[in-house]
Amino acid sequence: MEKIINLPDRSGHFGIYGGKYVPETLMPLLSELEGAYKEAKRDPEFKRELSYYLKNYVGRPSPLYFAKRLTDYLGGAKIYLKREDLNHTGAHKINNTIGQALLSRRMGKRRVIAETGAGQHGVATATACALLGLECVVYMGEEDIKRQAMNVFRMKTLGAEVIPVRQGSCTLKDAINEAIRDWVTNVRTTYYLIGSVVGPHPYPMMIRDFQSIIGIETKRQILKIEGRLPDYIIACVGGGSNSMGIFYPFRNDNVKFIGVEAGGLGLETGKHSATLSAGEVGILHGAMSYLLQTEDGQITPTHSIAPGLDYPGVGPEHSYYKDKNLAIYTTVTDDEALEAFYLLSRIEGLIPALESAHAVSYAIKLAPKLSRDEIIVVNLSGRGDKDLDIVFKKRDESH
């Protein structure tokens, strides 16, 4: 597998992907943000504060756990789980929100806005804002608000204001549109805290960097336990932040990356969120990337049982990885993810997030085909408590 040098380039592109496709009003702010981030990255005080919170507040490093019973059950490669589910707020999202909230405070912007689909990024943003004493406004589609009442309450408990979005399809992409409209209007006072490796430059780079802590730790841990690097790393891809976070530090190593997208009810049904597997190149939310869209370039509605994967776009760096064959992108259906959800719960006592269950499902398919001395690392990006409601209802339907 061909590996890569440092991207994005100076203008924020990963090959043809990425860039800054935003209204002019935001362009000066993106340059300001880029400058502030570069400066913060070089500042030992910023680094010290970030690692302080990651250690003492988030609970890092998260363990790399050898799933012995799952490995024995499958009878093939050794499976390790990177336990992002053990982070405060239950997923990898917090790695990014603390980083960006610190940056926001540093830039003197006391008002933070964010979008959220299922509410996970909203909760992680509300948490980071409460921690740092910042005002927090979260845009959430009206449909999602109905489906995720507990997360709405969680955000409100943390002191955030949740604004229902009634435009378009009333889901995540519309919440992003509305957050961008707020940002355009309040650009001088407001920091837009994006939740995945999407959006205009420098967001995909910055969020990748904040999430790279996952891969950096994994590398150190696997070398300590096994004395060598893994053969495969498997992670789910919605926007793609947990996958990019674990892949990136291994980009120059001989490790195969597998990104698992949401196959929903099956690619042939059109009801899925498999942007890289079934999309076409286009421009949305500030970047060029693969998109789920019509012939006319209108964005299409998506579906996944995993709310965090339910998005018609994907991070531009993943689009680059796909074209350059730096990672393999595949899909897992709702039903397969659900099977993995139950299997991991019963065999390891770990209830995975439905997003992470997609990655687990692919590992279940792959491991038996490999020899016992091969190693797979699966990024267990979040815990499944948040999804019990969805799974419970699904069980009702099938009975």
| Cross-strand bridge partners of residue 331 | 261
Q: Is the peptide bond before 44 cis (omega within 30 degrees of 0)?
A: no
35 binds another protein (CB under 8 A): no
What are the Cα distances from residue 47, in Å, to 40, 217, 263, 367, 369?
8, 16, 38, 38, 42
108 binds another protein (CB under 8 A): no
For the chain, the C-alpha Rg in angstroms (whole number) is 19
Alpha helices in 212-351 (DSSP H): 213-226, 241-247, 275-278, 316-323, 334-348
The packing angle between helices 316-323 and 203-211, to 10°, is 80
Site string for another protein, 148-167 (x = CB under 8 A): -------------------x
Q: Which amino acid is at 99?
A: G
Nearer to another protein, 42 or 188 (CB): 188
Among 244, 247, 211, which Cα is nearest to 229's? 247
Residue 197 and residue 244 in contact, taking contact as beta carbons nearer than 8 Å:
yes
Out of 4, 187, 347, 370, name the contact with another protein by CB under 8 A.
187
Closest approach of Cβ 20 to another protein, in Å?
Answer: 6
Closest approach of Cβ 333 to another protein, in Å?
Answer: 26
Nearer to another protein, 22 or 338 (CB): 22
Burial (CB count within 10 angstroms: exposed 0-12, middle 13-18, buried 19+), residue 383:
buried
Nearer to another protein, 21 or 73 (CB): 21
Residue 362 and residue 369 in contact, taking contact as beta carbons nearer than 8 Å:
no
Number of residues that bind another protein (CB under 8 A): 39
Nearer to another protein, 222 or 284 (CB): 284
295 binds another protein (CB under 8 A): yes
168 binds another protein (CB under 8 A): yes
* Euclidean distance between CA atoms 324 and 162, whole angstroms: 40
Out of 131, 184, 229, 278, name the contact with another protein by CB under 8 A.
184
Out of 173, 219, 272, 383, name the contact with another protein by CB under 8 A.
173
Touching another protein, residues 264-293 (CB under 8 A): 280-286, 291, 293
Among 392, 67, 17, 53, which Cα is nearest to 240's? 17
* Euclidean distance between CA atoms 260 and 276, whole angstroms: 10
177 binds another protein (CB under 8 A): yes
185 binds another protein (CB under 8 A): yes
105 binds another protein (CB under 8 A): no
Residue 233 and residue 257 in contact, taking contact as beta carbons nearer than 8 Å:
yes
24 binds another protein (CB under 8 A): yes
Segment contacting another protein by CB under 8 A, of 27-35, 50-58, 120-128, 385-393: 27-35
Nearer to another protein, 284 or 351 (CB): 284
DSSP, collapsed to helix, strand or coil, labels residue 103 as: helix
54 binds another protein (CB under 8 A): no
Nearer to another protein, 19 or 117 (CB): 19
Closest approach of Cβ 377 to another protein, in Å?
Answer: 36
Residues with a known catalytic role: 93, 115, 381
Segment contacting another protein by CB under 8 A, of 1-9, 106-114, 176-184, 214-222: 176-184
* Euclidean distance between CA atoms 233 and 79, whole angstroms: 10
Which single residue is written with the structure tokens 């919170």? Answer: 53
* Euclidean distance between CA atoms 290 and 10, whole angstroms: 21
Out of 181, 303, 324, 394, name the contact with another protein by CB under 8 A.
181
Closest approach of Cβ 141 to another protein, in Å?
Answer: 13
The packing angle between helices 93-106 and 44-53, to 10°, is 140
Nearer to another protein, 163 or 229 (CB): 163
| Cross-strand bridge partners of residue 87 | none
Closest approach of Cβ 188 to another protein, in Å?
Answer: 7
* Euclidean distance between CA atoms 341 and 335, whole angstroms: 10
Which residues form the interface with another protein (CB under 8 A)? 11, 19-29, 167-168, 173-174, 176-177, 180-181, 184-188, 280-286, 291, 293, 295-299
